[in-house]
Amino acid sequence: MSASLDKGISALKQQVDASVAAFFSSCVHCGICAEACLFYTETGEPERTPINKTEPLRRIWKSEYTLVGRLGKMLGLTKKVDHKLLEEWETLVYDSCTMCGRCSMVCPVGNDITLMIRKTREGMAAAGHAPAGMIGASKRSVEIGSPMGVRLPALRAQIKHVEADTGLKVPLDVVGAEYMLLLSSMEIMNFPEFIEAIAKIFEKAGASWTIATEAFEATNSGIQIGVSDIAAELVQRIVDAAEKLKVTTVISPECGHAYTAIRWDGPNLVGKKFSFKVRHILEVLDEMRQQGRLKTSGMESGKLTYHDPCQISRRGGVIDEPRRLIDMISDNFVEMPDHGKMNWCCGAGGGVSANERADELRLKVFQRKKDQFDAIRPDAIVSACSNCRIHLEDGLEEYNMDIPLLSLTETIAEHLAD
Amino acid sequence: MSQISNDVEFKQALEGLSPIKQRTLAAAFVAHVLPLSHDERLNRVVSIAAVEHAMEDELLNALRSARAATFDSHARCGSEGHWNEQAGYFVARAAVAAVTPPAQSRSGGAAWQAAMSSRMARTSMLIDDGEGEPTAPAENEWQYQTLSDYLNANG
C-alpha cells in the first residue's frame, strides 16, 4: 500500500459524488452534530465537531467542484490540502471518530456526516495519514486473512477445545449447510465460548451450519481504515466461500462493523447482488425464537441492560431483536437513557481500538457511557459486539465500576432449555 | 480406586463435587499453568482459591484481581495477536472461573471452566504463527490424574 499526497488528493476527488456535493452544499454550520458526538461532549474541544472532521474532503469539493472554489483556486486563494493539513486531521478523523453514526442522526438537513468521514478516510489512507495500528491490521487482513493475524491452525485449536467442552462437532466446510458462520478474530482469541454457544444453540435448534476454512474472518479492516479496494477484496473472499459451500445464509457474529461491512456495504463493494442472505446472529436467534426452535429456561437474577453496538443497532437496524431475546431470559430489564438508535458509542469502534495512540482519549470519553450506567445502575450489561465488550470492560475497570459484561448469544446458550 | 480417562468422566466427577471442593481443585488446575502468566496478582488469587475456608471478602477481592488481570491481558481488537501472550489471558480467565461465586459460574461449574481455560492457556503457547497444527497438549491428562488422585484420597 504505497501512499503519497497525490494519491490522497486523487482519492478524495473520487469520493466527491452527488451525495457528498449535496451534503456540503446544504450544511448550514449549525453545529448540532457536535452535541451528538461523545468526542466533543466529553472533551469540549470544538475541533472534534463531526463536520469539522471532513475538512480535507470539503476543501477538495470546494476547490474542484464549485464555481467560487475554482475561481479562488485560479487566483491562489483556496486553502490547500497538503501533508500539514492531513497530519493535523489524522487524529480527528481516526482517533476522534468511531463511525458510530450518531451525528448523522441529528443533522437537521439530513447529511450523512459519518459517510463523509468514511470518505475522508479514503483520502487520508491513500496519502499515508492513517494510524500505524490500522495500517498493520489492513495488511494482515490481506496477507493472512485476519487483522489480528489469526490463522487457520489457531482456529482449529480453539475448535478442538470447544468440541471437548461441549461434546459437539463444530462443522467445517460443509457444502449445502443452511448457515455459514463468520467469526471475528476477537472471538477466536478472546471469546472462544461464542463458538461454543453457537454449537449448543444450533444443535438444539436442529440447524445445519458450518465455518468456511477459506473465509472465517468477519472483520473488515478495509472499511475501518477507508480503503475500498481492501474492503472489497475481503468481502469477495466471503462471497466466494459462501457460493462454494452453497449456503443459504451467512451469519455475521457479535462484531459491530463486520455486520454493516458484509450486509449493507458488501454488495456495493463487490458490485453484485449476493446469492445468499446475510444476517446478524441476533436476527438469526430471534428468527429461531419465532419459529419455536429456540427455547430457554430460567431467568437471570439481576437487573440487566443492553448496550446497543452502533453498527448493529443504529447503522444496522437490529434493535428489537436483542430486546425480544433478552425478554426470554430476564424479567428485570432496564433501558439506558438514549438507548436503541440513539445509544452512545462505547468509544472504541471504527478502528479506534486498534489505534494505541487513541487509548487515553477513548477512556476519557467513556465518561459518557459511565453516566448512562450510573443513571440505571445495572447488575450486568449485555451486548453483542466483542469490541464493545472488551472496551466496556476496560472502561468500567478504569472508572472503578464493578459490573459484569455478558454476550447476549452466550447468555442465551447458558439458558437453553433441556 | 477410580481413574478418570476422558472428558465425560472428568466433567461428571467435577459436577458431583461441592462448590468449595470445585474451587480448591480449580486452584490446582490454575496453579499448574500459572508459569504461563507474568501477572503476579494471579499467584495471590490461586493461593486464596486453594483455601477451603477462605473468607467471602477475600474471595471477592481475589475475583476483582483476577478480572483485572484478564482486562490487562486480552488481545486488542485489530492489533496483532501474540498467542504466547494470550496464554496469560487464559490463565487469568481460569483464575476468574476458580473464584467466581457458584451462583454466577458458567455451565459446568468452576473447576470445569478453570480446567478448560487452563488447557487453552497451554494450547496458546503451542500455536505458532505458521501453518502447522499445534500439537495437542497433555494438560487434560494431567487434569484427569489430578482429579483421580483427589477422588481417591478423599473418596
CATH code, domain with A13: 1.10.1060
ipTM (interface pTM):
0.90
Q: What is the CATH number of the domain that holds A166?
A: 1.20.1050
In terms of Cβ atoms closer than 10 Å to its own Cβ (0-12, 13-18, 19+), residue B50 is middle
A242 shares a domain with A212: yes
A58 lies in some domain: yes
Give the model's confidence band at B105: pLDDT under 50 very low, under 70 low, under 90 confident, else very high.
confident
Amino acid occupying residue A141: S
pLDDT value for A329:
98
- CA A118 → CA A66, A196, A331, A354, B73, distances in Å? 22, 35, 40, 17, 31
Identify from A144, A165, A388 which residue to disrupt to test chain B contact, counting B C-beta atoms within 10 A and taking the largest count. A165
Q: Which helix (H) or strand (E) holds A369?
A: helix A367-376
Chain A residues with beta carbon closer than 8 angstroms to that of B126 = 157
Q: How do strand A179-181 and strand A249-252 relate by DSSP bridges? A: parallel
* Mean pLDDT (chain A, rounded): 96
Of B138, B109, B119, the residue nearest A192 (C-alpha): B119
* Mean pLDDT (chain B, rounded): 91
Single out the residue in A262, A290, A318 at which a domain terminates.
Answer: A290
Closest chain A C-alpha to B23 CA, distance in angstroms: 19
Identify which of A156, A157, A354 has the shortest CB distance to residue B77. Answer: A354
Q: What is the mean pLDDT of residues A165-178?
A: 96
C-alpha cell at A156: 482449529
A162 shares a domain with A274: yes
pLDDT value for B133:
62
Single out the residue in A97, A129, A161 at which a domain terminates.
Answer: A129
B1 lies in some domain: no
A280 shares a domain with A144: yes
A226 shares a domain with A202: yes
B4 lies in some domain: no
Q: What is the mean pLDDT of residues A391-413?
A: 95
The pTM (predicted TM-score) of the whole model is 0.94
Whether pLDDT at B128 is above 70:
no
| A62-114 residue pLDDT tens | 999 999 999 999 999 889 999 999 999 999 999 999 999 999 999 999 999 99
In this complex, is the C-beta atom of B64 within 8 Å of any C-beta atom belonging to chain A? yes
Tally the domains of chain A. 3
A153 lies in some domain: yes
pLDDT value for B142:
95
A357 shares a domain with A265: no
pLDDT value for A122:
95
Would the CB atoms of A154 and B116 count as touching at under 8 Å? no
Identify which of A151, A157, A190 has the shortest CB distance to residue B74. Answer: A190
Residue-number span of the structural domain to which B102 is assigned: 15-154
Would the CB atoms of A224 and B78 count as touching at under 8 Å? yes
Residue-number span of the structural domain to which A159 is assigned: 139-290
What is the number of CB-based contacts under 8 A between chain A and chain B?
100
In this complex, is the C-beta atom of B53 within 8 Å of any C-beta atom belonging to chain A? no
Residue A312 and residue A345: Cα distance in Å, rounded?
11
A202 shares a domain with A87: no
| A278-321 residue pLDDT tens | 999 999 999 999 999 999 999 999 999 999 999 999 999 999 99
B66 lies in some domain: yes
| A231-268 residue pLDDT tens | 999 999 999 999 999 999 999 999 999 999 999 999 99
Chain A residues with beta carbon closer than 8 angstroms to that of B78 = 133-134, 137, 147-148, 219, 221, 224, 351, 353-355
B104 lies in some domain: yes
Nearest-CA residue of chain B relative to A160? Answer: B136
Amino acid occupying residue A49: T
